[in-house]
Amino acid sequence: MNRETQSHTQSPAQPAFAPPTPMMEQYLEIKAVNPDSLLFYRMGDFYELFFDDAEVAAQALGIVLTKRGKHQGHDIPMCGVPVHAADDYLQKLIALGFRVAVCEQTEDPAEAKKRGSKAVVRREVIRLVTPGTITEDKLLAPADSNFLMALGRMKGAADPSYALAWIDISTGTFKVTETAQDRLLADILRVDPRELIVAEPVFHAPELKPVFDMLGRVASPQPSSLFDSTSAPARIARFFEVATPDSFGTFGRAELSAISGIIAYVEKTQKAERPPLSRPEREENSATLFIDPATRANLELLRTLSGQREGSLFKAIDRTITGGGARLLAERLTAPLTDPAAIAARLDSISFFHSEPRLGEALRLALKGVADMPRALSRLALNRGGPRDLGALHSGLAAATTIAGLFTDTVAPTEIGKALEAIAALPQQLTQHLEQALGDEMPLLKRDGGFVRAGYDAELDEMRALRDESRRIIAAMERDLSEETNIRSLKIRHNNVLGYYIEVTANHAAVMTGTDEAKARFIHRQTMANAMRFTTTQLAELESKIANAAARALAIELAVFDTLVKEVVAQAQAIRAGADALAMLDVSAALALLAAREDWRRPQVDASLAFEIEGGRHPVVEQALRQAGEGPFVANDCDLSPEGSARHGAIWLLTGPNMGGKSTFLRQNALIAILAQTGSFVPATKAHIGIVDRLFSRVGASDDLARGRSTFMVEMVETAAILNQAGDRSLVILDEIGRGTATFDGLSIAWAAVEYLHEKNCCRAIFATHFHEMTALSEKLARLHNVTMRVKEWEGDVVFLHEIGKGAADRSYGVQVARLAGLPQAVVARAKEVLHQLESGEVSGKTERLIDDLPLFSAALRHETAPHLAPHPAPHIDALGAMLDGLHPDEMTPREALEALYLLKGLANQTGE
């Protein structure tokens, strides 16, 4: 039948395409509910993806894209990943910013068949995997927190109020803070969430577009219903199983909106499971040092500008042993304190371990036995844990007991004392139970069994013995029966028909059947030509036990596992508090070790406006120089403290050559302030830091082409933010303001900025510049002091001393630096000539004379630098050959090659060749 006939004879009611199969119907229904996620659809031992999901996943994961059947007349794209390797693929997808809906079979296939031969196994999405909700070990870096954040907004009569709530579902951390629109981005980047959820209307608010553009795929819109502040108290109370959330504290409407949003999102993604989150803890903005986004990036606190840990401040100072300790150190670095008393408490802990090195070393040795208890606890509570998570909790609790014993009869400072109290409150009964129940070797999956210690459960031991030693048990029974009946030929055998049976020769049958008692005990099964076969109740029971021993053994172990998990989750709060205490001890001991090995000193931190550093060093550069074998770091002083009766701190105007160390000096003082307020010793011989409430740093240049911003525009935007926000307690670090525009424009802007910092902001500041004219400001501005990077000239060369001294530089030595960078000698020589003419005033602004006298563009210089391009004096065939001999293609630039080609062509035309 041809197509026309087929079309003509088809019933009008018949669909153009065959309907989807029941399985594909189920897939489409589930996918419709999860349109923004890649659907991992469980089919046997694979998670399959179809349609657009398959095409996207195949490209992202680099796996084969195939097809399965047809839908609406088109092939259905399909790809799949093995269930046992799903974590590896999830890691790649999450890293790329995708969300994944995991759809599992929630029904036994045998049950599905009872509904009919074409019935589809019931499937449900059991979990939404998003960047902010992962808990798997493979997907998490031990030293990195994995924060999910929610933004709440309430429109008020005046300006709207904002709040941020953030959790780490893998550890249970839950914090909330109020914020304002002008510091929203800074507060988000301080926490550095993997995922930020926002109500749809807020996400599309024009005034917040720059914030979400900067965050990129981290921010995702969610239904407004998740953030309803009216229903928030009931949702919070239900989640934490309390009558009212008032006991957590009094929260504003924006805070309630953020808390409710994040809880609703957790319920949405985790389905029936509930992570053991701590109760929301408010974090006051004034309690931490404000660091704006540009400063945070420029100072490379946790990562370098290229996104690497290597080269960051965190990498340079991290000596922690545990994952929890590393995360706490990172948290402290990103949120230094502003309360001198709280800072002093942290410094006291470090001083304690600094003065007790043996105790610190013993503690660090014991901490090696501490696994990541909060993350293990979270996985167990979410029903994603395994025996190794129980083992991690056991080892951590046991190590905590050992650690507590190290401090017996020790007078410890307040912070360490509180930590020891939390460790002492850990449930000892749970520790003992885990010790009794768990074996020495933990399998990865609970279904593998073998994790319950021998002797813990008598029935389990019996089942294991039956499973593993059935031959020995049967042999023992055979021996006992042979001795009892005095039949030496008695055997216990097995076949697939009878199972286990007792076999005796025919002439011994009377022993088995001669009395009523024997007949009752030995049950006849089969008569053979020369033998008879019997069984007993005991043998039948043993056979049944042997047949079911493996399954029963695993069932017992799984029951033990569930019991232990319930006990662990019931003690979640105490375990988390104990883990936090161990992390604090880890950080304090690690920073004490760092101070001892790197010769760091305890800073004095108070409420004054002092900023006095003696022998300050850059914590990252110093270690890099040592590792490279390039000699010691040159230490420098810095004093921005108020002088005499001055009410405000000083401003240093720093001049000096490129390569002299200005940027290093700027950064090191900012990093020393951060370290001091973090509660750490600092790389200096002495440091007195008056609390800094806001830190601003503008060091380095970069453009923002995606938003249409040039390097100079970015510089001006960041400078404007500093001038508009800095106060008298701020520390401002500025480098080369105005360099991105014309000389007079740049000088004017830099000049006015320094005056504004002095008169309006009244802050402590270091301002580095190449505009030497600005040094005259020291005569006008009382708090401004000229300092310079010292250099020494020797036989025409410049030696950078990397030392700070009073006074001003008279030049920048840019030409010398250009020579060191490898510029062609002709360029360096000509630059010196031009510089001499400019400095001597010979040209007096008349650049025409420079252009007329500019040999860089003359034929003579071109021939000097590229002699093979000089034309031969005579248009002769010999000249053409000589020209060719003088060409060296590997050494020529494209422009030189083109000029040579034209020259050769001209010579060829002249010679007629």
**What residue numbers does the annotated binding site for ATP cover?**
656-663
Rounded CA separation 513/510 (Å): 5
User: What is the separation, in whole angstroms, between the first and last Cα of the chain?
Assistant: 75
Rounded CA separation 673/683 (Å): 11
Rounded CA separation 630/624 (Å): 9
Closest CA to 25 of 52, 56, 50: 50
Helix intervals (H) in 497-616? 509-513, 516-521, 537-570, 572-598
| Cβ atoms of residues 191 and 262 within 8 Å | no
- The token pair at 525 is 């099964």
* Phi, psi (rounded to 5 degrees) for 318: -75, 115
| DSSP3 helix / strand / coil % (the chain, rounded to 5) | 50, 20, 30
Rounded CA separation 188/191 (Å): 5
- The token pair at 168 is 């780490």
Cα 91 to Cα 34, 51, 385, 473, 613: the distances in Å are 20, 22, 18, 48, 45
Assign 3-class secondary structure to 738-755.
CCCCCHHHHHHHHHHHHH
Cα 729 to Cα 23, 102, 478, 642: the distances in Å are 66, 51, 90, 12
- The token pair at 628 is 């490279």
The helix or strand, by DSSP H or E, that contains position 906, with its residue range, turns out to be helix 894-911
Residue 798: strand pairing partners: 793
Rounded CA separation 748/540 (Å): 101
Rounded CA separation 331/876 (Å): 78
Amino acid at 431: T
- The token pair at 794 is 């020797």
| Cβ atoms of residues 714 and 740 within 8 Å | no
| Cβ atoms of residues 768 and 642 within 8 Å | no
| Cβ atoms of residues 566 and 430 within 8 Å | no
Closest CA to 284 of 349, 339, 244, 348: 339
The helix or strand, by DSSP H or E, that contains position 20, with its residue range, turns out to be none
- Look-up: residue for tokens 């910013």? 97
Helix intervals (H) in 679-740? 711-725
Rounded CA separation 472/480 (Å): 12
User: In 3-state terms, what secondary structure has residue 507?
Assistant: helix
Residue 25: strand pairing partners: none
Burial of 735 (0-12, 13-18, 19+ CB in 10 A): buried
Amino acid at 551: A
Residues annotated as binding site?
Answer: 656-663
Closest CA to 314 of 339, 331, 298: 331
Amino acid at 908: A
The helix or strand, by DSSP H or E, that contains position 6, with its residue range, turns out to be helix 3-9
Burial of 796 (0-12, 13-18, 19+ CB in 10 A): exposed
Q: How far is CA 8 from the centre of its chain?
A: 63
Rounded CA separation 34/26 (Å): 13
Number of H helices and E strands in the chain, helices first, is 35, 27
